[in-house]
Amino acid sequence: MAYQLLDGKATAQSIKDELSEKVSEIKAAGGKVPHLAAVLVGEDGASKTYVNAKVKACEAIGFGSTLIHLPESTSEEEVLATVGRLNNDADIDGFIVQVPLPKQIDEQKVVEAILPEKDVDGFHPSNLGKMLLDLPTLLPATPKGMMLLMERNGIDTSGKHCVVIGRSHTVGTPISVLMSRNSNPGNATVTLCHSRTQNLAEVTKQADILIVAIGREGFVTEEMVKEGAVVIDVGIHRVPSSETKSGFKLKGDVRFDEVAPKCSYITPVPGGVGPMTIASLLWNTYLASQKLV
């Protein structure tokens, strides 16, 4: 079967182009340009790469951006004090605290300290609660990115069986909620699987749309996917490689080479969900700056 790539890079670029136009309109009207801040604690390589990509994306579309890089040894009190300052800074429309955080810091405490209206990652309990009630809110960036990717590539989700592997608060659980909503994309019948699901392959083989966010490299194999499925791979793993300059390759939770020939659509890694997460974060920052949620 000839599959089509769900190109997150190209789709994200079209969203950034739209936001760039909105920035021009705001400037022309003498308004305040949206401003995103990111807090990075420590030296995690993947986090650094991701935060730098966010800063670059802001600059490319004309958003203001601030990066606050704190040492690995920073205390929880200091991180909470930084969050407090950003909450009170009228120039900052939205901000994120990049996870994972060093072990001395309680991630949940930090998330709950962020003002819900500035929580552009969409993880605050207030925002997740509004999402559950289908009220206007800042949606979690990765699930929102996947919804935009499906919408803008004309993926029909209505009445389809969507199987999600992974139940994290950041991806698996929210995407299962969004896919079951009475909306487009949405209106799917959703099964949420995880590491304790029995006969997992039997369940995943029923999926018209398979969303994989389990965080294990190469977890989904060809026998777990039915012919003609849409596969969205959220995983991203640095795998040592002698073929690249950097010494590693990025791989997903899905064994792309063996699974792709069975699919109608599949996301690549890299270049699939990752760019869409950043585009959603920018979109959320725009919504926050214009008080649209």
Q: Please, are residues 142 and 273 in contact by the beta-carbon 8 Å criterion?
A: yes
> Phi/psi at 39 (nearest 5 deg)?
-110, 125
Mapped onto helix, strand or coil, the DSSP state of residue 261 is helix
Residue 215: which residues within 8 A CB-CB, separation 6 or more?
166, 168, 235, 253
Say how far apart CA 77 and CA 84 lie, in whole Å.
Answer: 10
54 is catalytic: yes
Burial label for 17, CB within 10 Å (0-12, 13-18, 19+), is: exposed
Residue 192: which residues within 8 A CB-CB, separation 6 or more?
164, 167, 172, 173, 176
Exactly one of 54, 160, 251, 262 is catalytic; name it: 54
Exactly one of 16, 93, 98, 262 is catalytic; name it: 98
- 8-28 and 141-152 helices, crossing angle to 10°: 100
236 annotated among ligand-binding-site residues = yes
73 annotated among ligand-binding-site residues = no
180 annotated among ligand-binding-site residues = no
Exactly one of 119, 121, 233, 253 is catalytic; name it: 121
**What's the sign of the alpha-carbon dihedral 158, 163, 168, 170?**
negative
166 annotated among ligand-binding-site residues = yes
Q: Tokens representing 212?
A: 């994989």
Say how far apart CA 136 and CA 284 lie, in whole Å.
Answer: 12
Say how far apart CA 205 and CA 203 lie, in whole Å.
Answer: 5
**What's the residue count for the chain?**
293
98 is catalytic: yes
Q: Please, are residues 253 and 215 in contact by the beta-carbon 8 Å criterion?
A: yes
Annotated binding site for NADP(+): 166-168, 236
Active site residues: 54, 98, 121
Residue ranges at the known binding site: 166-168, 236
